[in-house]
Amino acid sequence: MPSTTNPREAAEFIRSRFGEPISTAVVLGSGLGAFADEIEGAFRIPYEEIPGFARSTVEGHAGQLVLGHIGGVNVAVQQGRFHFYEGYEMGQVIFPTRTFACLGAKNLILTNAAGSLNTDMKPGSLMVITDHLNCMGVSPLRGKNDDSFGPRFPDMTRVYDREFQEFAEEEAAAIARSGADFYLGRGVYCALSGPTYETPAEIRMYRLLGADAVGMSTVPEAIAARHAGLRVLGISCITNLGAGLSGEIIDHSEVMETGEKVKGVFKELLKRVISRIGS
Ligand code: HPA
Residue to mutate, 121, 214, 254, ligand 1, most ligand atoms under 8 Å from C-beta? 214
Range from 60-69, 184-193, 265-274 carrying the lowest mean pLDDT: 60-69
Q: pTM of the entire structure?
A: 0.95
Residue to mutate, 84, 197, 207, ligand 1, most ligand atoms under 8 Å from C-beta? 197
Q: CATH: 2.40.50.70, 3.40.640.10, 3.40.50.1580, 3.40.50.800. Which one for 7-278?
A: 3.40.50.1580
Please check whether residue 191 is in contact with residue 221, taking contact to mean a CB–CB distance below 8 angstroms.
no
Say which of 252, 254, 256, 275 is annotated catalytic.
252
| Residue 220: predicted pLDDT | 98
What's the pLDDT tens digit per position in 201-246?
999 999 999 999 999 999 999 999 999 999 999 999 999 999 999 9
Say which of 217, 222, 224, 243 is annotated catalytic.
217
| Residue 150: predicted pLDDT | 96
Residue 184 Cβ inside 6 Å of ligand 1? The answer reads no
How many C-beta neighbours within 10 Å does residue 43 have? 14
How many C-beta neighbours within 10 Å does residue 66 have? 23
What's the pLDDT tens digit per position in 71-105?
999 999 999 999 999 999 999 999 999 999 999 99
| Residue 4: predicted pLDDT | 62
| Residue 57: predicted pLDDT | 65
What's the pLDDT tens digit per position in 240-259?
999 999 988 998 888 788 87
Local confidence band at 1 (pLDDT 50, 70, 90 cut-offs): very low
What's the pLDDT tens digit per position in 6-63?
999 999 999 999 989 999 999 999 888 889 999 999 999 999 999 999 876 665 557 9
What's the pLDDT tens digit per position in 114-147?
999 998 999 999 999 999 999 999 999 999 999 9
Residue 85 falls in the annotated catalytic set: yes
User: Does residue 185 have a pLDDT over 70?
Assistant: yes
Local confidence band at 3 (pLDDT 50, 70, 90 cut-offs): low
Residue 197 Cβ inside 6 Å of ligand 1? The answer reads yes
| Residue 84: predicted pLDDT | 96
